[in-house]
Amino acid sequence: GQCRTVCPTGALIIRNDTAKVWKDLNNKKKRVVAQIAPAVRVSIGEEFGMAPGEITIGKIAAALRKLGFDEVYDTGIAADLTVIEESKEFIERLEKGERLPLFTSCCPGWVRYAELKFPELKDNISTCRSPQQMFGAVIKEHYKKSDAEDGRETISVAIMPCTAKKYEAGREEYSNNGVKDVDVVITTQELCLMIKQAGIMFGRLEEEALDMPFGLASGAGIIFGVSGGVSEAVLRRCYSQKTSSTLKEISFVGVRGMDGIKETVVNINGKEIKMAIVSGLKNAGELIKAIQKGEKNYDFVEVMACPGGCIAGAGQPLPSSKSVTRQRAGGIYKADSSSQIKRSEENPMVIALYNGLLKGKHGLLHNHCACNSHSNEKES
């Protein structure tokens, strides 16, 4: 496939990082661990003659193992962590009536744009790290002991739909004494390139399961790949009623669909909540101006830089036309409906993390808080 040269922020030139990954894969002293973003699984097949939206997570797992990856995990589990942390933050702010609206923080294209154009929003943006960065921090913590014991170095590779994620992984706050939480980010297109270089017939691969303990995501974690997904996942978490009819109800409140700006009012446990879901930075700029002029008023605003969300990221196979984007979104929602676990807090692997590795270490999941360094975190 051809490559786009810029990311949606218009500032970041695409880099090809496949050589770095090959080098690590060929080095026995490295433990190379992959995380796969939700949006990648519904687009990569297009490069190999499959239809947009076809869910290929099992083939991706098989391909990564053939390439030499040691462990193959799902970024969706970190999206589940994001849902839990961000819902908690949202409820706290609502109760105090502080720093509202809460803006989401999982899209680095949007975060960078806000930092440059609307620095006054800094306190409104969620302190949650993006799923990519939560995953990276958790992985490095998880393998710390094994690294010391077997003398191998864990290299964390993220497979992402966009180039803005490369920039995010390089941000200063995501390194700890020179050790990066995410060492290399490759886009869907770069992974296609590696698969082709290795001569792997992607379409013919037998599906394989992801590894445990970080290979299990809930449906809520997977829908992060589309615009509206974060909001829907947070609503699933915040509604006290946990029935399947509530799930259906939430999917109809106006969070889904390809519109650049979606608005909805929901009732969470007796309280009226105003939400906006924006994709595309031009729409985000307009919405923020309307908020600042007092014409609009929200409690929660989800922003994704790419129109339609990550499924249309600049690192995805081309073309990302409207109809292709719609089909990929269909794949994401299908993955959610066929998932046995629909809510982030019901993901047993997430529960295990909170009872284990994350105990006293919630700082691994947040930005700009005093407890940000990897040691001495206070429970937030």
310 among known catalytic residues = yes
HSE value, Cβ hemisphere, 13 Å, CA-based, for 365: 27
**Binding piece for ligand SF4, criterion CB under 6 A, among 148-156, 157-165, 206-214, 338-346:** 157-165
Nearer to ligand SF4 by C-beta: 159 or 310? 310
Position 16, amino acid: N
For the bound state, the minimum distance from the C-beta of residue 130 to ligand SF4, rounded and expressed in Å, comes to 7
| 302 C-beta neighbours (distance < 10 Å), count | 26
62/312 with CB nearer ligand SF4: 312
Question: Euclidean distance between the first and final Cα of the chain, in Å?
Answer: 45
The nearer residue to ligand SF4, 314 or 349, going by C-beta atoms, is 314
Give the nearer residue to ligand SF4 in terms of CB position, either 266 or 312: 312
The residue (of 165 and 362) whose beta carbon lies closer to ligand SF4 is 165
How many chain residues bind ligand SF4 (CB under 6 A)?
14
The only residue of 55, 79, 162, 324 in contact with ligand SF4, by rule CB under 6 A: 162
- Per the annotation, the verdict on 126 as an active-site residue is yes
Q: What whole-number distance in Å separates Cα of residue 131 and Cα of residue 144?
A: 20
Contacts 24+ apart (CB under 8 A), 266-269: 266/235, 268/235, 268/238, 268/239, 269/238, 269/239, 269/240
Site for ligand SF4 in 261-320 (CB under 6 A): 304-306, 309-310, 313
* Angle in degrees, CA 99, 133, 155, rounded to 5: 165
38 binds ligand SF4 (CB under 6 A): no
The single residue of 7, 105, 107, 165 carrying the catalytic annotation is: 165
Catalytic position from the list 126, 130, 218, 344: 126
Verify whether residue 153 is a known catalytic residue. no
54-59 long-range Cβ contacts below 8 angstroms, 24+ apart: 54/331, 55/331, 55/334, 55/335, 56/202, 57/207, 57/210, 57/335, 58/206, 58/207, 58/208, 58/209, 59/202, 59/203, 59/205, 59/207
Residue 7 annotated among the catalytic residues of the structure = no
Q: Residues 91 to 110: which contact ligand SF4 by CB under 6 A?
A: 107-109
Q: Which residues form the catalytic set?
A: 86, 89, 106, 126, 165, 168, 173, 310
- Which parts of this chain interact with ligand SF4 (CB under 6 A)? 8, 107-109, 161-162, 164-165, 304-306, 309-310, 313
